[in-house]
Structure 1
Amino acid sequence: MSVASQHHPYFPQSLELSGYTPPTQTPLTLVLVMGSGLGAVLVGTYALFSRQRICGAALGLLDRLAATWFVLCGALHCVYELYYLLHFRTLASAEDVLASTWKEYAKSDSRYLAQVPLVFALETITVTVTGPLCLVAAHAIWNQSLGQRHIAQLSASVLHLYSVALYFGTELIAAESGCRPEPLYYYGYFIAMNAPWVVVPLALAIQSTGAICHAMQVAKSQ
């Protein structure tokens, strides 16, 4: 085992991270920081969309939940994951709180610290394409622009599903896993934290496909 691999908690144990600096915050602190930030986005967005009125009527529950989802995704993609892209090559040695949260998550997937090109490519698409599409979908829900909403919603959801399929698939077929063996990191971080980007986009993609097909049938019958 190399000297470098003895000083970091990531798998595979042969992984070398030049200049790696461990976080000064505890894992619980980092989880609370992320949870508080995400919670504020969720609560604030839901409250804002709950006050919106279209022709005097409030948005439906499903619309409010969908909008909250898209704003959350937009914030994660265009802010948090943008940070990752900007610090892709120096993340292992960075010492700020955002870097530390990435280092904590990397216990479930060390590719985020190992400068793997696939991860960088997926995050680039997510930041530059998927994130803005999510914000477009949220804005369309706010204005009840149904055509724009379902095109953006379907596109963003398909991109989410595609990215997750590549993300999970390449890890499963890898010669060496990048996840620590403890259940917390595999089932808690790697599976549970990414599962919403399978379940929710699938449901939204089905919804938008149905809405678009219905609209086309109506247009054809006229």
Structure 2
Amino acid sequence: MSDFSAVFTKTSAFSLAGVVLLGTVAYLASKALLPKGTRWQDKYVFVWLAFDALIHFIFEGSFLWHSVLGREVNTGTGMFAEMWREYAKADFRWGVSDPTVVSLELLTVLGAGPLCCFILYQLVRSDPARHYWIVVLSTAEIYGGWMTFCPEWLTGSPNLSTSNVLHLWVYLFLMNFLWVIIPLFLMVDSYTHIAGTLRSVQGSAKAKKGQ
């Protein structure tokens, strides 16, 4: 634990507390907006998508603000610049406005964020069409993670710091693995709904033909 205590700073604590705060806001939003009788799976989906949207707009949006409209994170000022400098200790590319990372974040903030909100609206209205958009969103999230890390793995991870517990297991693993495992769950759940509905329609059509 000595390596963890040596690198865990006030900025680390405030950053992780911010993540917890956004998760709490997402949970409270689900309690306030979802209709009674919503199945438990959809409640969890709502919480995740609300959390996902908040992360994209607030945290990643601040990264784009510094990287595209202002100065890169390493020379920026303010609370969010400090937060991203903290993360950049684990992945150096986030501090210098790496073109690949910025390109992916443009799609994430301007594409995935609004799509999360649209799916949340469909969830509140109990619109089954959300399952198609969940598959689209989840595919994009997983692809974004792949394109963030695969180039590093292929080149020996020169920009990643894996020398301590905080950088490796909290920043690099946990804060990115969530955007792989949860979208995979959502894709499987939505596939079950889409495939089940289509098979039911197909079975009804065949039954009518056989009459």
For the criterion TM > 0.5, the same-fold answer is yes
Q: Distance in 2 between matches of 1:111 and 1:178?
A: 6
Counterpart code for 2:41: L
SS of equivalent residue, structure 1 residue 59: coil
Q: Which residue of 1 aligns with 2:41?
A: 62
Residue from 136, 152, 157 that aligns with 2:118: 136
Aligned to 1:198: 180
Number of matched residues?
194
TM-score (norm 2): 0.84
User: Is residue 2:48 matched to residue 1:44?
Assistant: no
Moved over 3 A (4+): 51-54
1:161 maps to what in 2? 142
Taking only the aligned residue pairs, the percentage that are identical comes to 23
- 1:115 and 2:97 matched: yes
Distance 1:52 1:175 in 2: 46
Q: Separation in 2 of the partners of 1:68 and 1:131?
A: 14
8 Å contact kept, 1:52–1:59: no
Partner of 2:82: 100
Matching of residue 219 in structure 1 with residue 198 in structure 2: no
State the distance in 2 between where 1:76 and 1:204 align.
18
**Counterpart selection for 2:11 from 30, 40, 59:** 30
Q: Which residue of 1 aligns with 2:62?
A: 83
Gaps in structure 2 of 5+ consecutive residues:
1-6, 206-211
Q: Distance in 2 between matches of 1:78 and 1:51?
A: 21
Counterpart for residue 71 of structure 1: 50
Deviation track 1:73-105 (CA, whole Å, cap 9, x = no partner) reads 111112221211121143211121111110000
**Inter-partner Cα distance in structure 2 for 1:46 and 1:30:** 24
Change (3 A) 1:93 1:204: same
Structure 1 counterpart of 2:18, one-letter code: G
Change (3 A) 1:59 1:176: closer
CA–CA distance in structure 1, aligned partners of residues 169 and 145 of structure 2: 15
